[in-house]
A and B are shown apart, each in its own frame.
Chain A
């Protein structure tokens, strides 16, 4: 018999299942993975260093580009750090809008994750189903911020603008077929909140559809059950957070344990898994989408009944209203100062953490009193998950690498930063 030798090769950086630009150096013996060493940094843009050279407000846009499938949650983490440092009050309505969009973002992210992991394992149709709903939510992003992905909608002290009264509709130039246009426009006749409410009514049935395709699917189960198991203790040691930690059976969710914004006023549950394998991570995400849907419904109800300010009224931090600038000298000075120099935050340190769809997203901010942060450190949720990749893959078959990688929901924008 021929002598057996271990074989080392590259997975990525251009592999379609590498979820971006991951170079994974795999050492295999036959088809069994002996070691997996991720080489990252191909998308490194030095966001944190760039942020040190820009006024605080200008950096919100960089946060979108970290985890580019859960944009607004990143902004929330950054704004929270600034608000802690500057002791800025956020109006209640802005808090509700933020929570609503955080949960919309969570659904966006989980749809992407589940769709992509199913695609990686050979189930094409789930991806198409997921993107059908993603499209509607991305439209909500567009309606509120003008941008489909990189919204830059949150501001330190609130959100950029109130929810629009009119939901944009498809025009004849964009969609010539009358029948098709009517079908697409029928739930866009009212305000953004009407559209979101319509979505929340439809969405549970959509989740049922994904579950029909996957949950009891024999192939899906064979590929994911007992693959990439991490027990609770190990998950904590490795720094896991979010769905990846909860799938291992640890009930830890910052929305419940350290409630921020208005999560303590909302009714929702935190699903946890038992085994900590890829299948549990999938189940946790499915249930989180249902819970997010519940939260969005509660936010819609509240926002309908409670109009009010959406930005703090601190003129030293928040830009004045355009109308005020025409009449009020002080408002004009504030506007000039804010857009030429920005605001200075008091000297100190803050750590703003949010329950991001992928786990704990934290922004550690050091200020020396200047108009730019002295140091920004982004605690990316996916970073410790990918760091554990080698350990999770060891001893598994080569094909399981793809299942594990997609189950920990990797996005390189935030890992490489």
Chain B
């Protein structure tokens, strides 16, 4: 029943944004892919559409797809080698950027109070360094701080943002800490220097030790066995 309703809204969105692919339904949320160059126009349409207006921007964030699908522990070969499970974190050589999409994707969650429906919009960032996406602060003022945060943590530049400053990291921070190639422990550590009488930054000496490696195991779907039984 729920899927039918969502299908209607997907159809509606497809009508008002005919240049885009029809939204798909995933876990009860509509998903829409928007090219970056059309994003502001589409955003304006989505917000003001009389049939299904998305009045509110719930959330905006960036996903870095640099190491998507990469594992730290290959389950096939390691079984023979024994169980030394403490592994080194992913190095650059092992990282596998997916060639089909761009590395950074802006993900926006929209909410229509009138129709009680959520929409998730994916916008692939353009360009490499810095990746760029147009800002939607003019459409939803709520996007202001979300875009500042995304810029701070991922280095995605939101063109047209009125005040794109860092938000969460320290004054004078270098780098974008939520990128997958930024180490979890960071590059610098803050210590008190007694001779200078103040706190100073110095290169971080900590090394990250991974105790539970990242593995991917395909779930055994109960449906598969059922089907084979019937077959």
Which B residues are in CB contact (< 8 Å) with A342?
212
Chain B, residue nearest A245 (CB):
B56
Total number of A-B contacts with CB less than 8 angstroms? 122
**Taking the complex as formed, is B16 at the interface, i.e. its CB lies under 8 A from any CB of chain A?**
no
Q: Contact at A40–B178, with CB atoms within 8 Å?
A: no
Q: Contact at B113–A351, with CB atoms within 8 Å?
A: no
- State which residues 46-77 of B face A: CB under 8 Å: 55-59, 61, 63-64, 68-69, 71
Q: Contact at B142–A344, with CB atoms within 8 Å?
A: no
Complex Cα spacing A53 to B168, Å: 20
Q: Contact at B68–A387, with CB atoms within 8 Å?
A: no
Choose among B59, B116, B219 the residue with the greatest number of A CB atoms under 10 Å from its CB. B59
Q: Contact at A344–B216, with CB atoms within 8 Å?
A: yes
Q: Contact at B170–A237, with CB atoms within 8 Å?
A: no
- State which residues 147-165 of A face B: CB under 8 Å: none
Q: How many residues of B contact A (CB 8 A)?
A: 45
Which A residues are in CB contact (< 8 Å) with B69?
368-369
**Taking the complex as formed, is A91 at the interface, i.e. its CB lies under 8 A from any CB of chain B?**
no
Q: Contact at B59–A379, with CB atoms within 8 Å?
A: yes
Which A residues are in CB contact (< 8 Å) with B184?
46, 49-50, 53
- State which residues 97-114 of B face A: CB under 8 Å: 107, 109, 113
Q: Contact at A370–B216, with CB atoms within 8 Å?
A: yes
Q: Contact at B109–A257, with CB atoms within 8 Å?
A: no
**Taking the complex as formed, is B7 at the interface, i.e. its CB lies under 8 A from any CB of chain A?**
no
- State which residues 171-219 of B face A: CB under 8 Å: 177-178, 184, 210, 212-219
**Taking the complex as formed, is A340 at the interface, i.e. its CB lies under 8 A from any CB of chain B?**
yes
- State which residues 235-260 of A face B: CB under 8 Å: 236-239, 241, 250, 252, 257-258
Q: Is the interface of B mostly helix, strand, loop or mixed?
A: loop
**Taking the complex as formed, is A384 at the interface, i.e. its CB lies under 8 A from any CB of chain B?**
yes
Min C-beta distance of A345 to chain B, whole Å: 8
**Taking the complex as formed, is B38 at the interface, i.e. its CB lies under 8 A from any CB of chain A?**
no
**Taking the complex as formed, is B127 at the interface, i.e. its CB lies under 8 A from any CB of chain A?**
no
Which B residues are in CB contact (< 8 Å) with A362?
58-59, 109
Q: Contact at A360–B58, with CB atoms within 8 Å?
A: yes
Given contacts A84-B27, A364-B109, contact A341 B215 (CB under 8 A): yes
Complex Cα spacing A354 to B61, Å: 18
**Taking the complex as formed, is A348 at the interface, i.e. its CB lies under 8 A from any CB of chain B?**
yes
**Taking the complex as formed, is B140 at the interface, i.e. its CB lies under 8 A from any CB of chain A?**
yes
Min C-beta distance of A417 to chain B, whole Å: 8
* Mask of A341-379 contacts with B, CB within 8 angstroms, 1/0: 110111011110100000010101010111110110101
Q: Contact at A368–B142, with CB atoms within 8 Å?
A: no
Min C-beta distance of A65 to chain B, whole Å: 16
Which A residues are in CB contact (< 8 Å) with B160?
none
Which B residues are in CB contact (< 8 Å) with A58?
212
Q: Contact at B118–A351, with CB atoms within 8 Å?
A: yes
Which B residues are in CB contact (< 8 Å) with A346?
219
Chain B, residue nearest A339 (CB):
B212
**Taking the complex as formed, is B14 at the interface, i.e. its CB lies under 8 A from any CB of chain A?**
no
Complex Cα spacing A85 to B29, Å: 12
Could you pull out 23 A-B pairs where Cβ atoms are within 8 angstroms?
A50-B184, A53-B210, A84-B27, A236-B56, A239-B56, A239-B141, A239-B142, A250-B113, A340-B85, A340-B212, A344-B218, A345-B219, A351-B120, A366-B63, A370-B214, A370-B215, A371-B215, A372-B212, A372-B214, A374-B63, A383-B145, A386-B145, A387-B142
Binding site for A on B (CB under 8 A): 26-29, 31, 55-59, 61, 63-64, 68-69, 71, 85, 107, 109, 113, 116, 118, 120, 140-142, 144-146, 167-170, 177-178, 184, 210, 212-219
User: What 6 new A-B contacts, CB under 8 Å, besides A53-B184, A237-B55?
Assistant: A44-B169, A360-B58, A370-B71, A383-B145, A383-B146, A387-B142
